[in-house]
Amino acid sequence: MKFRIFFLIAILALTISSCIKDEAPNMEADITDMSVDDDTYITRAISEHTVQLIVSEKADYSRIVPIIEVSPGATVQPASGVAQDFSNGKYVKYTVISEDGKYFKEYTVTVTSKISLKHTFEDWTTMGSERAPYPVLSDLLWSNANSGLAILVGTGALVIDQYPTDKTTDCVDGEYGAILQTMKGTTIFGKDYPIFAGNLFRGAFSANMSNPLKSLKLGQAHTIENGKPIMFNGYYKYKTGEIFTGTSGEVIPNRTDSMSMYATLFKVTKGAPANEEFLDGETIMTSDRVVATARWALNSKDVQETPAINGFTKFSIPFKYNEGLDFNKNDYRLTIVLSSSKDGNEYQGAVGSTLIADDLEIICDPIK
């Protein structure tokens, strides 16, 4: 008993001592957020070394003023609030230096004027470390969960030949489409994850292993200039894996896997920053902020399908609205979500289930 009391006192003393001492300088060197000091600013997308700023066509590209937030104590050059020339496709390199001065990271910042409503999945790039690179779309308004698995690959906890989300030459036209595959999972810190489903969505990803549904930060800006979404169109192929397993890896007989594919429009506070007021994997299904959804479902009377080239199926799904749009009162965000296993966010599905998607498009009516 005396030893236990002594041990507790020692721990308490160390805790108090650590609180009194100055904290060590921060060694992080990240751009955590970026916006533009102008009414023409729409949104942004940030990756490990790249920032895409989206502004309206009315912006003066020769004098864009980025407002930059960085890791605590870090500094950035060029400085935040300094006008830069992004005209004629120019880009600007920014360097973030950590508070302790030992680490730095470079970012390439570009500016564009359009959030595309048609997605051909032609342009891909690679992110991550040299040991664990992973594929992503060049359009950073799209995201997937590959980055979470790359952490496991980098530590050796997971060995894979291909990430669940990748490009494929099996497409409708052009060179590439997007392929999403459900793969065998692994055990992480004593917890079993039976499967990892391929996913792709408009938004951002921040791994949350304790609640995977919270990993998805869904939604990208949808402006009045883009109009009122009325149809979700595109092409897909889908095949199911043979054996469906539950959250504990148990085989569930007579259950067939299914893909998930939908587009959802939801409202946010007028002027809400791009890194606030998103929906996640739970709230996208339940939030009263959802205004309209176009959802694929097997044999649904609302989903029009016809055979297309290369074995693809062409689909067209109308948006169902539960309220009208009011751009004077609200801003709106739009997401598209694809998964090779509908319940993959709960680690349920069948290894081998594969969804290939290409030429997705949101059709909109003009808003006067």
Sign of CA dihedral 349, 350, 351, 354: negative
| Cα separation of the two ends of the chain | 78
β-strand 104-112 against 118-119: which pairing, if any?
A: unpaired
Residue 152: its H or E element: helix 146-155
CB atoms within 10 A of CB 7: 10
CB atoms within 10 A of CB 147: 21
Residue 46, amino acid: I
Note the pTM of the prediction, 2 decimals: 0.87
Contact of 124 with 136, CB cutoff 8 Å: yes
Dihedral Cα 365, 226, 59, 327, nearest 10 deg = 90
CA atoms within 13 A on the CB side of 271: 3
Q: What is the C-alpha separation between 334 and 223, in angstroms, rounded?
A: 10
Q: What is the C-alpha separation between 209 and 154, in angstroms, rounded?
A: 17
Among 235, 260, 132, 239, smallest CA distance to 176 is for 235
CB atoms within 10 A of CB 22: 5
* pLDDT tens for the chain, residues 1 to 368: 433 433 333 434 444 444 444 567 778 999 999 999 888 999 999 988 999 999 998 999 999 999 999 999 999 999 999 999 999 999 999 999 999 999 999 999 999 987 889 999 999 999 988 888 999 999 999 999 998 889 888 888 888 889 999 999 999 999 999 999 999 998 877 788 899 999 999 998 876 766 767 778 999 999 999 999 999 999 999 999 999 999 999 999 999 999 999 999 999 999 998 888 999 988 998 999 999 999 999 999 999 999 999 999 999 999 999 999 999 999 999 999 999 999 998 899 999 999 999 999 999 999 98
Among 134, 82, 132, 128, smallest CA distance to 109 is for 82
Q: What is the C-alpha separation between 254 and 130, in angstroms, rounded?
A: 42
Placement of tokens 């669940």 in the chain:
164
Among 286, 296, 322, smallest CA distance to 231 is for 296
Residue 33: strand pairing partners: 69
Among 228, 177, 172, 185, smallest CA distance to 368 is for 228
Residue 206: strand pairing partners: none
Residue 342 gets the label, from left (phi > 0), alpha (psi -120 to 50) or beta, of alpha
Contact of 281 with 305, CB cutoff 8 Å: no
Residues in the chain, how many? Answer: 368
- Domains in the chain (CATH in brackets) are 27-114 (2.60.40.2340), 115-365 (2.60.120.890)
Q: What is the C-alpha separation between 150 and 91, in angstroms, rounded?
A: 28
Among 296, 183, 292, 281, smallest CA distance to 235 is for 296
3-state secondary structure of 151: helix
Contact of 183 with 152, CB cutoff 8 Å: no
